[in-house]
C-alpha cells in the first residue's frame, strides 16, 4: 500500500483552477520538495492535503485512509501535521502549551505527563527546551518558526507538510534549519516541503515535484527535475536563490 | 390579497433595504459591527417626531435636516469611539470583538438617553394618513412618501457606489483593506466616510419609520436584528444583495402579518436567518 | 492546599451569612450570588473563545418562565430538571446552527434571541392560553433560594477550575487564539464550542429557574429584561473573562453599584451603565486582574525577562 496517494486533485476558485488534476504519491520516510513559481498552486495543494480547503474533486489518501472530504481536525488525527506559510503561533499561550495541543488532541491523544513529555521532547528537538514556560507572543521570528515546527512534531505525525518553513532565515539560521529538517527525515516520517531556496531543496530532498499554473509539470530525482527544460521555462524570469 | 401583500410588502421592504444598506456600509467598509445601529435609527425617528410636534416641521423637510445631521453624528462617533479601537487592533482580528462590545455599550447608552428624553411610551404621528389607490390596493400616502425617500436615497447611493470614482475607492476598501493603501487610498478616511454614510442612512431610515410606524425607545434591537439579517442574506458588503434581501424581508413580513399573525414577525425574520445559516451562510447572493 | 481551603472557608462563611443578616442584606446576597453565577458561567464559554454571547437573559428568562409554567404541575426538583433540559435544548439549537460558522453569526443570533423568545412566549400566551402573566407559588424561603444560588455559583467556579485542567479548557483557549491552528492540531472545533456553550447556557437557565420565586408574578417583559445580558457581559469583562475569579471580582462591585444607581437614579442609570461599559472596553479590555498583573510586571521589569 502506498503511504500517500494524491489522485487527480482539483481545486477550483470561481474561474481559476488553482490545482488542476494533480496526481502524486509518496513512500513512507520520503522527503519530497514541492517547487514551482509563485501562484503555481503549491500551497493550495498542501491546503487540500491538510483539509484547510475542501478539494473540488479528486482523492487523497494516507495509508489507505481517504482524507478528502474530511475536516482538518480529522485529517490531523489521521497523522498529518503542517506549518503555515505565514507563521501561526498561539500568542497568549506558553511555549509548552502551544506544543502540547497536538499532543493532546492529535494523532495519539496523550494527556497529563505523557503529553508533557511529548511536548518537551519536541521543544528540545528545535532548541527551545529552556524556554518552555515563556509566552509565545514574546518570541522573535526565528523562534516562532521553531515553535511552529515543534508544534507539528508534537503531533507525532506520519506526514509533515512544511510550507516555506525556511523562508526569511539568515544564512546561519538557514544551516541550522536544514540540519533540523534533516534530523526529522531520519526519524522516518514522510515530508512534503514547499520551498524556494534551492540550496535547501538540493540538500534535503532526493526527489522533487514541480507545479506550474496548477499542473504538475515534473516529478523525479531533484537533479534531473531542476535541469528539465520545461521546469527552467516555468521558472524563467523568476529569481532563484541558488 | 396577493397584490396587497406584494405592494405593502415592497413599500415596507424599501425601509428595510435602506436600513440594511447603511449597516452593510458600516460593516463592509468600516469593519465595525454596530449593534447600536437600531438605536441610532430610533434616535432619528424621535427627533423627527419631536420637530414635527414642537414646531410643526414637515417630516419631509425634517428628513432633509436629519440625514446630514446623521452623517455628522456618525463622523463624530467614528472619530471619538471607533478610531482608537481600529488603531489598537492593528492587523489582528480584534476589531470585530472590540466593536461588538463597544457598540453593545453604546446601545444601552443611547437607549438610556432616549428613555430620559422621550419616555418609554409608544410614539407615532399622523402625517398624510389618507389612502391612495394603487392597482386597486389602498396604500397610505405617508407609506408611499417613506418609500419614495428610501428609493431616492438608496438608489442614489447604489449608483454612486457602482459608477463613480469615489464609489470605486469605497468598494476597494471593502474588498481588500490590506492592499488599498498600496494604491494610495487612505483607509482610515474611507472607513470614516463609510461609517458616517451608514449612520446617515440609518437616520434616513429612521425618518421614514417615524412617518409610518409606531415605535418605542426599546425597539432598537429589533431594527438592528432585521438589518443584520438582511445584510447576511444579501452577503456582507454586497449592496445589490442587501437591497434585494431588504425587499424580500419586507414581503415575507407583510405576508406573515396579513395571513398568519402580527405577533410572529420577528419569528419569521429569525426563521429566514436560520435557513440562510443552514443553507447558504455566505449569503444568497454571496460568492460560494 | 490553600487554593482549595481558602475558597471552601469562604463558601462556609457565605452559607452561614443568612443567619446574621436582615432581609435587605439577604436580598443583596441573593443578587450577588445570582450575578456571580451568570458572569462566571458566561465566561465559561465566551471568556476564552471570544465568542460573545449576548443571549444571557434568553436563557435566564427561559429558566424563570419554565418555573412559572410548571411550578404547580411538577415537584420542585423536577421543575429545575425540566428548566435545565429546556435551556440545554435551546443552546443546542443555537449552537448547531451557528457555531460551525464564523463568530459573528453566533453574536448576531444571540443578540436577537432574547427578543425572539420573549415575542414567541407572548404570542403563545396571548393567542393559545389567553393568559399573559403567571404566578409562582412555591414554598421556598429567600434563604433557601440563596443557598441554591450559592451552590450553583460554587459549582460553576469548580467546573471552570476543573475545565482549565482538562483538554476541553485547553481547546477553548486555543480556539480563542487561532481557530485554524486549533483545527490543524486535531481539535474538533464545532464539538468543543457546542459542549462549552451548552454547559454555560444550562447553568444560566438554572440560575433563572432558582431565582424566579423572588418575582412571584412573572410575565415575559419582566423575565426577559435585556439589562441582565448587559450586566453579565460587563461584569465578566471588568474582572477578566478569561480568569477563574475574574467574573466574580467584576460581579460583586458592579451589582452593588447597579443597586445603588437603580435606587437613586431610576431614570438615568442606563446611561451611566452604558458609559461605564464603553469605558471598560476601552481602558481594561482584558479585565482588572490582567491590568493589575501588567502593572506589577511594569514595576519589576526584570521578572518577565528572567522567566523568558
Per-residue pLDDT tens digits for A8-60: 999 998 888 999 999 999 998 899 999 998 889 999 999 999 999 999 999 99
Q: Is the ipTM of this complex over 0.85?
A: yes
Enclosing domain of residue C176: 21-307
Interface of C with A in 286-305 (CB under 8 A): 304
Contact A123, A95 (CB under 8 A): yes
Only one residue has cell 524556494, namely A196
Confidence (pTM): 0.90
Residue C267 lies in a domain: yes
Phi (first) and psi of residue B236, to 5 degrees: -60, 130
Q: Are B142 and B127 in contact (CB under 8 A)?
A: yes
C265 at B interface, C-beta within 8 A: no
In the numeric block, which cell numbers belong to residue B197?
454614510
Residue C98 lies in a domain: yes
By CA distance, what is C285's nearest residue in B?
B98
User: In this predicted model, what pLDDT tens digit does every residue of C141-151 receive, in sequence order?
Assistant: 999 999 999 99
For residues A41 and A19, is the Cβ–Cβ distance under 8 A? yes
Whole-angstrom CA distances from A99 to C68, C159, C242, C279, C306 are 50, 25, 21, 36, 21
pLDDT in tens, B249-284: 999 999 998 888 888 888 888 888 888 888 877 777
* C-alpha cell recorded at residue C306: 528572567
Confidence category of residue A238, pLDDT binned at 50, 70, 90: low
DSSP result, C141-168: -HHHHHHHHHHHHHHHHHHHHHHHTSHH
C273 within some domain: yes
Residue showing cell 435609527: B41
Percent of chain C with pLDDT over 90: 62
Report residue A45 as a C-alpha cell.
495543494
Domain A1-79+158-242 classified CATH 3.20.20.10? Answer: no
Return the number of other C-beta atoms located less than 10 Å from residue C9's C-beta.
11
Residue C154 within any structural domain of the chain:
yes
Contact C209, C83 (CB under 8 A): yes
- Edge-first strand order for the sheet with A4-13 is A16-26, A4-13, A57-62, A65-66
Q: Measure in Å the smallest separation between the Cα of A133 and chain C Cα atoms.
A: 7
Contacts 24+ apart (CB under 8 A), C5-14: C7/C154, C7/C157, C11/C150, C11/C154, C14/C150
The backbone torsions φ and ψ at residue A107, rounded to the nearest 5 degrees and listed phi first, read: -45, -50
Q: What confidence tens digit (pLDDT) does each residue in B36-53 have? A: 999 999 999 999 999 998
Chain A residues inside the 8 Å CB shell of C188? 71, 73-74
pLDDT for the residue numbered A113: 87
- Are the C-beta atoms of residues B234 and B56 closer than 8 Å to each other? no
Cell of B137: 390596493
Tens of pLDDT along C199-218? 999 999 999 999 999 988 99
CB–CB contact C178 A88 (8 Å): yes
Q: Are C273 and B104 in contact (CB under 8 A)?
A: no
Q: Which pairing describes strands A57-62 and A65-66: parallel, antiparallel, or unpaired?
A: antiparallel
Query: A211 pairs with which residues across the strands?
Result: A216
What residues of A are in the C interface, CB distance below 8 Å?
A: 50-52, 71-74, 76-77, 81-82, 84, 88-93, 97, 100-102, 104-107, 109, 111, 131, 133-135, 138, 151, 155
The chain C residue lying nearest B218, using CA atoms, is C226
Residues of chain A with CATH 3.40.50.300: 1-79+158-242
Which of B54, B65, B63 is CA-nearest to residue B207?
A: B63
Q: Which pLDDT value is given to residue A236?
A: 67
C-alpha cell at C15: 452559607
Q: How many domains does chain C have?
A: 1
**pLDDT tens per residue, range C23-71:** 899 999 999 999 999 999 999 999 989 899 999 999 999 999 999 999 8
DSSP letter assigned to residue A19: E
In a 3-state reduction of DSSP, which class is residue A77?
Answer: helix
Q: Which residues are CB-neighbours of B77 under 8 A, at least 6 positions away? A: B195, B199
Choose from A184-193, B48-57, C86-95 the range with maximum mean pLDDT: C86-95
3-state helix, strand, coil in chain C (%, to 5): 80, 0, 20
Amino acid at each position: 500500500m502506498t503511504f500517500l496517494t494524491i489522485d487527480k486533485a482539483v481545486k477550483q476558485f470561481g474561474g481559476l483552477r488553482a490545482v488542476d488534476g494533480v496526481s502524486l504519491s509518496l513512500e513512507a520516510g520520503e522527503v519530497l520538495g514541492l517547487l514551482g513559481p509563485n501562484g503555481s498552486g503549491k500551497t493550495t495543494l498542501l491546503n487540500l492535503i491538510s483539509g484547510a480547503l475542501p478539494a473540488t474533486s479528486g482523492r487523497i489518501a494516507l495509508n489507505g485512509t481517504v482524507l478528502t472530504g474530511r475536516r482538518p481536525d480529522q485529517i490531523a488525527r489521521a497523522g498529518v501535521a503542517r506549518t503555515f506559510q505565514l507563521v501561526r503561533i498561539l500568542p497568549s499561550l506558553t511555549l509548552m502549551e502551544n506544543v502540547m495541543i497536538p499532543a493532546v488532541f492529535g494523532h495519539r491523544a496523550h494527556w497529563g505527563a505523557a503529553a508533557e513529555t511529548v511536548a518537551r521532547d519536541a521543544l528540545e528537538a528545535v532548541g527551545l527546551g529552556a524556554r518552555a514556560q515563556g509566552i509565545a507572543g514574546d518570541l522573535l521570528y526565528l523562534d516562532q518558526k521553531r515553535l511552529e515546527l515543534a508544534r507539528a512534531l508534537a503531533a507525532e505525525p506520519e506526514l509533515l507538510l512544511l510550507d516555506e518553513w525556511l523562508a526569511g532565515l539568515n544564512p546561519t539560521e538557514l544551516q541550522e534549519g536544514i540540519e533540523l529538517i534533516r534530523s526529522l527525515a531520519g526519524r522516518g516520517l514522510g515530508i512534503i516541503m514547499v520551498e524556494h531556496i534551492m540550496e535547501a531543496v538540493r540538500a534535503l530532498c532526493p526527489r522533487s515535484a514541480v507545479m506550474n499554473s496548477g499542473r504538475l509539470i515534473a516529478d523525479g530525482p531533484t537533479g534531473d527535475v531542476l535541469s528539465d527544460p520545461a521546469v527552467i521555462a516555468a521558472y524563467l524570469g523568476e529569481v532563484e536563490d541558488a | 390579497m396577493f397584490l396587497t401583500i406584494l405592494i405593502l410588502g415592497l413599500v415596507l421592504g424599501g425601509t428595510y433595504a435602506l436600513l440594511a444598506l447603511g449597516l452593510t456600509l458600516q460593516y463592509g467598509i468600516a469593519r465595525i459591527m454596530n449593534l447600536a445601529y437600531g438605536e441610532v435609527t430610533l434616535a432619528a425617528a424621535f427627533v423627527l417626531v419631536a420637530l414635527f410636534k414642537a414646531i410643526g416641521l414637515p417630516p419631509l423637510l425634517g428628513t432633509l435636516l436629519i440625514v446630514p445631521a446623521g452623517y455628522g453624528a456618525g463622523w463624530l462617533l467614528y472619530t471619538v469611539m471607533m478610531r482608537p479601537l481600529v488603531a489598537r487592533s492593528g492587523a489582528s482580528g480584534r476589531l470585530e470583538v472590540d466593536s461588538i462590545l463597544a457598540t453593545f455599550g453604546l446601545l444601552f447608552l443611547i437607549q438610556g438617553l432616549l428613555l430620559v428624553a422621550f419616555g418609554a411610551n409608544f410614539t407615532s404621528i399622523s402625517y398624510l394618513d389618507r389612502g391612495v389607490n394603487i392597482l386597486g390596493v389602498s396604500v397610505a400616502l405617508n407609506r408611499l412618501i417613506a418609500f419614495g425617500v428610501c428609493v431616492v436615497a438608496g438608489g442614489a447611493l447604489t449608483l454612486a457606489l457602482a459608477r463613480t470614482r469615489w464609489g470605486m475607492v469605497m468598494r476597494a476598501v471593502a474588498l481588500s483593506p490590506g492592499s488599498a493603501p498600496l494604491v494610495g487610498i487612505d483607509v482610515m478616511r474611507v472607513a470614516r466616510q463609510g461609517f458616517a454614510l451608514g449612520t446617515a442612512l440609518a437616520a434616513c431610515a429612521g425618518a421614514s419609520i417615524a412617518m409610518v410606524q409606531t415605535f418605542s425607545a426599546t425597539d432598537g434591537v429589533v431594527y438592528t436584528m432585521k438589518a443584520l439579517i438582511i445584510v447576511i442574506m444579501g452577503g456582507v458588503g454586497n449592496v445589490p444583495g442587501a437591497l434585494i434581501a431588504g425587499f424580500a424581508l419586507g414581503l415575507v413580513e407583510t405576508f406573515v402579518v396579513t395571513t398568519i399573525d402580527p405577533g410572529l414577525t420577528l419569528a419569521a425574520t429569525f426563521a429566514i436567518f436560520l435557513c440562510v445559516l443552514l443553507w447558504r451562510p455566505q449569503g444568497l447572493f454571496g460568492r460560494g | 492546599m490553600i487554593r482549595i481551603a481558602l475558597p471552601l472557608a469562604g463558601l462556609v462563611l457565605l452559607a452561614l451569612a443568612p443567619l446574621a443578616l436582615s432581609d435587605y442584606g439577604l436580598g443583596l446576597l441573593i443578587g450577588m450570588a445570582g450575578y456571580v453565577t451568570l458572569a462566571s458561567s458566561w465566561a465559561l464559554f465566551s471568556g476564552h473563545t471570544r465568542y460573545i454571547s449576548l443571549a444571557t437573559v434568553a436563557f435566564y428568562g427561559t429558566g424563570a418562565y419554565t418555573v412559572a409554567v410548571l411550578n404547580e404541575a411538577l415537584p420542585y426538583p423536577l421543575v429545575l430538571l425540566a428548566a435545565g433540559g429546556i435551556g440545554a435544548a435551546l443552546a443546542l439549537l443555537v449552537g448547531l446552527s451557528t457555531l460551525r460558522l464564523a463568530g459573528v453569526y453566533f453574536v448576531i443570533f444571540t443578540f436577537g434571541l432574547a427578543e425572539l423568545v420573549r415575542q414567541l412566549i407572548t404570542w403563545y400566551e396571548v393567542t393559545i392560553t389567553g393568559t399573559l402573566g403567571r404566578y409562582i407559588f412555591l414554598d421556598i424561603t429567600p434563604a433557601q433560594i440563596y443557598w441554591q444560588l450559592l451552590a450553583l455559583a460554587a459549582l460553576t467556579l469548580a467546573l471552570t477550575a476543573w475545565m482549565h485542567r482538562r483538554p476541553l479548557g485547553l481547546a477553548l483557549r486555543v480556539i480563542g487564539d487561532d481557530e485554524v491552528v486549533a483545527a490543524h492540531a486535531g481539535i474538533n472545533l464545532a464539538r468543543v464550542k457546542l459542549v462549552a456553550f451548552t454547559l454555560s447556557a444550562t447553568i444560566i437557565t438554572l440560575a433563572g429557574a432558582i431565582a424566579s420565586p423572588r418575582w412571584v408574578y412573572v410575565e415575559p417583559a419582566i423575565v426577559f429584561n435585556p439589562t441582565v445580558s448587559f450586566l453579565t457581559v460587563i461584569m465578566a469583562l471588568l474582572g477578566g473573562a478569561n480568569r477563574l475569579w475574574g467574573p466574580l471580582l467584576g460581579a460583586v462591585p458592579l451589582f452593588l453599584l447597579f443597586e445603588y444607581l437603580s435606587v437613586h437614579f431610576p431614570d438615568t442609570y442606563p446611561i451611566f451603565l452604558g458609559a461605564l461599559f464603553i469605558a471598560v472596553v476601552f481602558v481594561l479590555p482584558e479585565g482588572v486582574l490582567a491590568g493589575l498583573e501588567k502593572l506589577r510586571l511594569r514595576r519589576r521589569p526584570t521578572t518577565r525577562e528572567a522567566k523568558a
